[in-house]
Structure formats: structure tokens, C-alpha cells
């Protein structure tokens, strides 16, 4: 059975059916099945309740049977609807819409921003927080009592049959919608034991994330943001870090931006348009910073810090960084070129922990070195010890700036293509697309050179004039004859070569050096990217 390019509902009956949705948003429907159905949308297979196995292709939605169905989605955006019966519905990946309808259902969102739908008014349901989620009990209708986990939003029927008037609540709001509904005024908002996203809107707000891995958005105003337990993120949105002015405040951190001054506590990371401020002691940024302190007795320079954070995130060991330190003149000046293992361990105790080694501990490390453990590994062990973590805790709590490499590349591309500084919303959009794996830098360059802004400036230029214009934008000079000849030889009628010109100029050493001050500085107030 094959659908059209529009909206189709394809009915699976008995037999081994093949349901091809075609274009548009299409449903496979099993409401007439004589027994429970088992759906695996991710693999495109269905036990149809009649004894047959159906094959699904280009199907985005499922409507189950009146029995106890198992409906599993895909990694895309799905609409999964049970009917009566005690259904198990799992969205898996994507931003899914999930509705158990009648019966006592188990609803799990999975990855993505998922919404659980209920066909009654909010006041008809009793919502109770449980470990990892909620129970939602229908007090008036036939929806039963559902267990809902890994779902970010709840949607209840509004005042009439118009879906635009439906009440949509975040997981943080669903327990007490009146108290937790953000306004443009001064709100007090509380999260749940789950993973909440709380958007405080404008006003001087107080937000408590509670347990779970929460994302808190203060927006405009002077906000107090407390992540609570779990791994919590404050999202600054389309705001850059430069001149953000982080500072200590009673064990927390204050962040001052154009939106106001926010006071943060129990927060592990703050995300900006151009990177992140890390306050998590177990993050690669904190581990790299501690190793710099242990080996060289100083904070890392920004370029070295960013390089090694990326390397550790990509699987490089801290021992590789430590090995580089061991061979440096800076390390030898501090450790005195200790020839024997005993002297090396003594210097570690003195320089890293600020004390003499206790006999048992000293013997352990000297014996380890004598038995073949490398000095780099021992240096890392001292750096990552509980004692050194406690001694360097204040450095981490005040925040470690980790500039986004994707943001840096996009900022340079703005200069190359448009001859200007980036705007924060635009850079944030492209940075997130690159970091999510949706776009490459090449894709961004293609989009930039196809934009109306670029076409209005350079769209009618021939290849030679195009190359010269890019040199002027990127390098503040016209192309030399040899450079023009080089590119003209490679064009050979290929329009895609223009994107190659843009990328090679943008990421070339000359342009990187010219734009360095716009993306990186050793002055703490100027760590972030410079925006228009």
C-alpha cells in the first residue's frame, strides 16, 4: 500500500503488508487489530495483531490498537498514539508527540524534546512526581493512570476544541502550573526531580532547578539561578562572553551581560553564543587547568587551554599533556631537573601539594616509578588527587572559559565573506548546527556565499574579481598576481571552487593571525569573541 505526497493514514490489516507513506506526514493505523500490536518504527517492522509482519517505509506516525500495545519510535520526530489498553510507548530519539489515550500506559520520551498529550483539562488530572518522572492520573475520564518519564512537555486540552488554546506545560510547571508559569515580572520558579528546562522570561527571577540535570534560562533581568543537584546548565542564549564580567559571590558566580546580572549557584556550566564557562570539577577543562597548575604553577594561556580541552574531549590522555610539560624548559626550571625518582617525588609533593610527602605515600610513588610507571602518569595522579582538587577548587568554581572552536571558525568566516564582525544570533545558530553535526564549515561557507548580503556585494563578480574581493575582505590587501594565477588555474569553470577559496583564505595562517584579537585574548575581560 502506497500513500501520496500528502497526509495519509494507511491501515494495516491481516497478512504481511508493506506500507509506504511517500511524501508528507503519514500514519500507519492498527485500530482494527484483533490483539496487541508491536511496533518498531526505527526498524520499520510491525507485528500487526493478526499474525502478520508488516514493513513500514516513510511512516512518521503510529496509531495503535485497543489492546496492550508496545510502540517504539525512531530517532526522528514521531507521533505515537495508543488507544485503549495498557500501552508501552517510547519515543527514542527526536522531538516526539506521545499519547497513551485510555488505559494505564507507560510513556517514555527518550532523547529530544518530547511532549506527552492528554485529552482532558489540566484540572482533571493529578500529577505526582516519582523517581525519574511522573504519574498522571485521570480523575474524571478514561485515560487511566500513566507513568511518564523522559518527557519535557505536557499538553492538556484548552478551553475549547481549538488546539491553539491547549495548555502546554514544561516538566517543571506541570506539578503546579500557576506557581511555575513564567511571566514578564519577578517570578519564583521551581523545578522537579527530573531533567527540567525552566525559561524565566523577563524580570528579576528566582529559579531553583531541584534535582536532575536542569537547564535554566534567566533572560532579561537580574536573576538568581540555583541548579540544585545534578549536572545543571545556565543557557545565556545569543549573548557573547566577552565583557561578561564573571565574579565570585558567596560560593557562587555572578555573570553580568547586556541582559542584567545573574547570580549562579550549584551550576556546572554556562553556555554562551561563543563557548562555555565551566565550573564542573570533573570537566576536561578543569582537569587541564589543574595539570597546568601542578606542572607549571600558572594558569594556562587561552590557546593552550582550548587546544588541550578539545584534545582531551576527543580522547587524548592527560598523560600526553603531562609528557609535553616534562620536557619543557618551564617545567625543568620549576622542578630542577630531578635526576632520581626520589627527588622527583619530593618535588611533586612540594610543588603540587605544598608539603613534604608522608613516608608511606612517598614510598608508594618512588616504588611505582622504579617499577616502570612513567613520570607523566605520576604527575597526572598528583594533579587529579583529592588533595589537589580541593586546593584548586576556587579556580574552577570561578569558571574556566572554553571558547568554541566552531564559533571561532564561523567568526572568521563572517570576516572573510562579509568583511564584518559576526552578529551573536547568527553565529550562535551556525555554531550549534556545526556542534550538533548538522552542518560542516564547508556548508556554512556555501550558505554565506549564497546569502542576499553576499550577493548584494559580490554576486555579479567574475572569478578573478571574486578572488580579489575575498583577499581584500580577509587579508586587507589585494591578491598578488601569483595568487590570482593559482586560483584561476583551479577554477576551470567550477563554481564550487569559490567555496574552497573562501575556506582556504578564512582558515589560512595569515587570516588567523589578522583576526586573532577578535576571537581570543589573554585578558580575562576579553576572552570571548568580539561581536558587531
**Over the stretch 217-261, which tens digit does the pLDDT of each residue have?**
988 999 999 999 999 999 998 999 998 867 765 557 899 998 999
Categorize the per-residue pLDDT at 492 as very low, low, confident or very high, splitting at 50, 70 and 90.
low
In the sheet with 97-99, reading across from the earlier edge strand, the strands are 8-11, 26-29, 61-63, 79-81, 97-99, 115-117, 153-156, 167-170
Q: What is the pLDDT of residue 5?
A: 66
What band does 158 get if pLDDT is binned at 50, 70 and 90? low
- Dump pLDDT digits (tens) for 304-347: 999 999 999 999 999 999 999 998 999 988 888 767 999 999 99
Q: Is the pLDDT of residue 120 over 90?
A: no
pLDDT > 80? residue 163: no
User: Is CATH 1.10.3470 correct for 284-397?
Assistant: no
Q: What is the pLDDT of residue 248?
A: 60
Q: Which pLDDT value is given to residue 166?
A: 65
CA of residue 228 relative to chain centroid, distance: 19
The pLDDT of residue 81 is 95
Whether 284-397 shares its CATH topology with 404-526 is answered yes
Confidence of residue 128 (pLDDT cuts 50, 70, 90): confident
pLDDT at 408 (0 to 100): 97
| CATH number at 404-526 | 1.10.3130
Q: Can you give the pLDDT at residue 439?
A: 92
According to DSSP, residue 146 is labeled E
User: What pLDDT is attached to residue 70?
Assistant: 95
Given a cut of 60, is residue 162 above it in pLDDT?
A: no
Q: How far apart are CA 512 and CA 413, in angstroms?
A: 11
Query: Using one digit for the tens of pLDDT, what is the confidence trace for 350-390?
Result: 999 999 999 999 999 999 999 999 999 999 999 999 999 99
Q: Which residue has the cell 587541564?
A: 288
Domain boundaries along the sequence of the chain: 8-170, 182-278, 284-397, 404-526
For 394, the enclosing helix (H) or strand (E) is helix 393-397
Q: Would you say 133 and 149 are in contact if contact means Cβ atoms under 8 Å apart?
A: yes
pLDDT for res 13 = 73
- Report the mean per-residue pLDDT for the chain: 89
Which DSSP letter does residue 91 get? Answer: -
Considering only residues 525 and 135, tell me which one the structure prediction assigns the higher pLDDT: 135
Mean pLDDT of 422-446: 93
Query: Grid coordinates representing 428?
Result: 550562535
> If residue 22 lies in a helix (H) or strand (E), which one and from where to where?
none
Amino acid at each position: 500500500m502506497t500513500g501520496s505526497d500528502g497526509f495519509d493514514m494507511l491501515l494495516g490489516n491481516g497478512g504481511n503488508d508493506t506500507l509506504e507513506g511517500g511524501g508528507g506526514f503519514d500514519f500507519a493505523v492498527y485500530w482494527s487489530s484483533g490483539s496487541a500490536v508491536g511496533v518498531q518504527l526505527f526498524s520499520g517492522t510491525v507485528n500487526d495483531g493478526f499474525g502478520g509482519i508488516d514493513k513500514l517505509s516513510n511512516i512518521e506516525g503510529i496509531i495503535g490498537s485497543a489492546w496492550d500495545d508496545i510502540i517504539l519510535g525512531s530517532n526522528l520526530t514521531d507521533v505515537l498514539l495508543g488507544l485503549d489498553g495498557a500501552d508501552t510507548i517510547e519515543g527514542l530519539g527526536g522531538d516526539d508527540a506521545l499519547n497513551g489515550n485510555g488505559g494505564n500506559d507507560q510513556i517514555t520520551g527518550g532523547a529530544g524534546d518530547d511532549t506527552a498529550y492528554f485529552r482532558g483539562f489540566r484540572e482533571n488530572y493529578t500529577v505526582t512526581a516519582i523517581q525519574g518522572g511522573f504519574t498522571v492520573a485521570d480523575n474524571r475520564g478514561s485515560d487511566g493512570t500513566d507513568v511518564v518519564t523522559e518527557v519535557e512537555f505536557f499538553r492538556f486540552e484548552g478551553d475549547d476544541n481549538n488546539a491553539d488554546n491547549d495548555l502546554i506545560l514544561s516538566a517543571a510547571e506541570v506539578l503546579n502550573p500557576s506557581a511555575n508559569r513564567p511571566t514578564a515580572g519577578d517570578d519564583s520558579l521551581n523545578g522537579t526531580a527530573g531533567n527540567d528546562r525552566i525559561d524565566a522570561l523577563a524580570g528579576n527571577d528566582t529559579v531553583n532547578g531541584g534535582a536532575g540535570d536542569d537547564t535554566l534560562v534567566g533572560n532579561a533581568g537580574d536573576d538568581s539561578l540555583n541548579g540544585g543537584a545534578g549536572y545543571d546548565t545556565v543557557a545565556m542564549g545569543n549573548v557573547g562572553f566577552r565583557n561578561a564580567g564573571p565574579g565570585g559571590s558567596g560560593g557562587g558566580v555572578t555573570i553580568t551581560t547586556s541582559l542584567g546580572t545573574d547570580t549562579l549557584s550549584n551550576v556546572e556550566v554556562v553556555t554562551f553564543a561563543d563557548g562555555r564557562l565551566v565550573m564542573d570539577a570533573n570537566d576536561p577543562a578543569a582537569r587541564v587547568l589543574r595539570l597546568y597548575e601542578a606542572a607549571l604553577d600558572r594558569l594556562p594561556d587561552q590557546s593552550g587551554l582550548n587546544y588541550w580541552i578539545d584534545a582531551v574531549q576527543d580522547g587524548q590522555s592527560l598523560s600526553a599533556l603531562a609528557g609535553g610539560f616534562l620536557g619543557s624548559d618551564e617545567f625543568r626550571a620549576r622542578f630542577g631537573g630531578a635526576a632520581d625518582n626520589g627527588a622527583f617525588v619530593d618535588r611533586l609533593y612540594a610543588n603540587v601539594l605544598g608539603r613534604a610527602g608522608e613516608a608511606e605515600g612517598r614510598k608508594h610513588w618512588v616504588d611505582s616509578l622504579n617499577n616502570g610507571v612513567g613520570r607523566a602518569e605520576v604527575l597526572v595522579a598528583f594533579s587529579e588527587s583529592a588533595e589537589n582538587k580541593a586546593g584548586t577548587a576556587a579556580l574552577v568554581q570561578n569558571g574556566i572559559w572554553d571558547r568554541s572552536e566552531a564559533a571561532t571558525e564561523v567568526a572568521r568566516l563572517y570576516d572573510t565573506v562579509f568583511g564584518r564582525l559576526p552578529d551573536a544570533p547568527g553565529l550562535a545558530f551556525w555554531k550549534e548546527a556545526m556542534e550538533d553535526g548538522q552542518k560542516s564549515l564547508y556548508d556554512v561557507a556555501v550558505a554565506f556565499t549564497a546569502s542576499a548580503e553576499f550577493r548584494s556585494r559580490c554576486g555579479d563578480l567574475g572569478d578573478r574579481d571574486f578572488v580579489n574581493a575575498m583577499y581584500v575582505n580577509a587579508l586587507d590587501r589585494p591578491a598578488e598576481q601569483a595568487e590570482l594565477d593559482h586560483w584561476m588555474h583551479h577554477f576551470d569553470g567550477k563554481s564550487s571552487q569559490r567555496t574552497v577559496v573562501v575556506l582556504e583564505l578564512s582558515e589560512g595562517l595569515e587570516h588567523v593571525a589578522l583576526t586573532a584579537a577578535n576571537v581570543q585574548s589573554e585578558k580575562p575581560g576579553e576572552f570571548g569573541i568580539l561581536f558587531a
